Amino acid sequence: MRRTRNAAPLLLLALLLAALPARAEKWVLLGQRHVTDRAERDTVEVTASEGSFDAIQLRVKRSAVRFYDVTVVYGAGTSDDLEVKDVIPAGGRSRALDLRGANRFIKRVELRYEAKTLGRRGAIVEVWGRR
């Protein structure tokens, strides 16, 4: 009976450790833009020193933004067209948008959104990259 009591916490600890991801996600701010109701496109330039990423995420502050399209342009000249078609509320974020291919050194991220949804103050859109 005593061995059973001692084994239960150890088994629980082993299960919890097994459930942890193999590596912790590390998100890095790649850039941000103050978007207003005057433009429907924006570009976030990313320096090559930032390195390679396997996903990006959009985070929004101040006002909700309706996104239509996000294009990631890589240093090698290739690109990924990521369909977002979401309204991200103020204080919200998109899902992790996975990037394809092996050479994922991001040169720039092009954003297309609906400007009339922003309001007078505009919004801050941040682009984050996951290593």
pTM equals 0.76
State pLDDT tens for residues 76-99.
888 999 988 889 999 999 999 999
Backbone angles phi, psi at 4, to 5 degrees: -65, -40
- Do 40 and 68 contact (CB within 8 A), yes or no? no
Task: Round to whole Å and give the CA distance between 93 and 7.
Answer: 42
Residue 4: pLDDT over 70: no
State pLDDT tens for residues 26-75.
999 999 999 887 778 999 999 766 778 999 999 999 988 889 999 999 98
pLDDT given at position 127: 96
Residue 13: pLDDT over 60: no
